[in-house]
Amino acid sequence: MKKHIGLSLLSFSALSLSVLFSSTASAHFPLMTCWFEGDKVACEAGYSDGSKAIDYDVNMYDYDDNLVAKVTTDKRSIAEFTKPESDFYLVFDAGHENPVEVDVVEISEK
């Protein structure tokens, strides 16, 4: 009986580890890079596995958390905004991971 219990625990441990590592290997995280192009703010959204984020919303908020603009990414995963006069931050929320936020102080000319 002891041998059977030991084998079951070993099988359970192996199964648990395989599930843990298989889910970690297939996980991908949302990413967003933004830059200034003259009077525009452009952002490219995507995932850590290199896939694009097409037809996702990218929101622009002022520092009082008011929605200033909402743009949907195009077929290149790019969202373009008119650059506002006030400070802002941008949010890409893919819906299944933590949203990505980019603050205006992190953005530079491309």
Place of tokens 């003259």: 38
The whole-angstrom distance between residue 110's C-alpha and the CA centroid of its chain comes to 21
What predicted TM-score, i.e. pTM, was given to this entire model?
A: 0.74
CATH, residue 41: 2.60.40
Domain assignment present for residue 97? The answer is yes
Per-residue CA distances from 64 to 2, 50, 83 (Å)? 64, 33, 17
Domain assignment present for residue 8? The answer is no
What confidence score (pLDDT) does residue 28 get? Answer: 83
Ranges under pLDDT 70 in the chain: 1-27, 97
Closest by CA position to 45, among listed 35, 37, 36: 35
The total number of structural domains that make up the chain: 1
pLDDT tens digits for range 41-70: 999 999 999 999 999 999 999 999 999 999
For residue 70, give its domain range.
Answer: 30-109
Closest by CA position to 106, among listed 94, 91, 86, 89: 89
What confidence score (pLDDT) does residue 26 get? Answer: 54
